[in-house]
Amino acid sequence: DNLLGISWVDSSWIPILNNGSVLDYFSERSNPFYDRTCNNEVVKMQRMTLDHLNQMVGVEYILLHAQEPILFIIRKQQRQSPTQVMPLADYYIIAGVIYQAPDLGSVINSRVLTAVHGIQSAFEEAMSYCRYHPSKGYWWHFKDQEEREKTKPKAKKKEEPSSIFQRQRVDALLLDLRQKFPPRFVQQKPGEKPIPVDQIKKEPEPVPEAVKPEEKETVKNTQSAGAKGPPEKRMRLQ
């Protein structure tokens, strides 16, 4: 059975876990990672010390690394002689919870499956945005992009200054419209209520001033003098 996806914990042992009690904790009968046919069980039944494991042949469990009180690593190995062993599996205990460490093949298999699943999901999602039409061919249609463009505030385009021709043309059109449709209301000051054009009082035209008769005669004399021109010179007789 694949034990990589399960874990085991006994909360009553967590406060007393240390280097001397961690193997006893691992050898609990309810622990699915523990093999009851191992040499540790034989040593335990015969009430011998763990030093006798080196003189036996078979499966055994040893404490490989300890970092009290949070981390313990236990190794399952096959002993063939007092100096020759073959590792079978490693188990790590973190905060009292026991997990089986994956082997290299399981790690590579998991990483490859994760990568293949990601690539397959990417291709499926890309194909969902692909569109085809005989007249247009292939193109991409992204719904998220359309929603983003709708919610995204549109940047204001910079207005280019108008040319002289445009200003003159607009002024001519406005003048023509004003002559065809004269305004009916006039707003004399900003913020005031518009007033009909008929109610606006027209200013009286200035009356020409009366000219005195003496000034008229002087004006006439100057005009006549200017019309006659300078007097002719007479020749002197000698």
Asked if 24 and 68 touch (Cβ cutoff 8 Å), the reply is: no
- Give the mean pLDDT of 169-174: 84
pLDDT, one tens digit per residue, over 122-131 is 999 888 888 8
pLDDT band at 206 (very low <50, low <70, confident <90, very high): low
pLDDT higher at 182 or 146:
182
Conformation bin of residue 47: beta by default, left when phi > 0, alpha when psi is -120 to 50? left
Answer yes or no: do 46 and 83 share one domain.
yes
Find which of 63-67, 127-131, 212-216 is predicted with most confidence, using mean pLDDT: 63-67
Say whether pLDDT at 19 is over 80.
yes
Is residue 190's pLDDT more than 70?
A: yes
Give CA–CA dist 129/176, Å, rounded: 56
Where does a domain end: 142, 172, 203? 142
Tell me which residue of 197, 179, 175, 178 sits closest to 188, measured CA to CA.
197
Residues 22 and 50 in one domain: yes
Q: Mean pLDDT over residues 55-81, rounded?
A: 92
Clarify whether residues 96 and 106 are in a common domain.
no
**Within this chain, do residues 127 and 50 fall inside the same structural domain, yes or no?**
no
- What's the number of domains the chain is made of? 2
Say yes or no: 42 and 130 in one domain: no
Check whether 214 has a pLDDT greater than 70: no
**What residue type is assigned to position 224 of the chain?**
S
Instruction: Indicate whether 123 belongs to any domain.
Output: yes
Residue 126 lies in a domain: yes
Percent pLDDT > 90 in the chain is 34
- Are 86 and 117 in the same domain? no
Neighbouring C-beta atoms of residue 50, cutoff 10 Å: 15
**49 close to 43: Cβ distance less than 8 angstroms:** yes
- Average pLDDT over all residues of the chain: 81
Task: Based on the fold, state whether residues 55 and 96 are members of the same structural domain.
Answer: yes
Full residue range of the structural domain in which residue 123 is found: 102-142
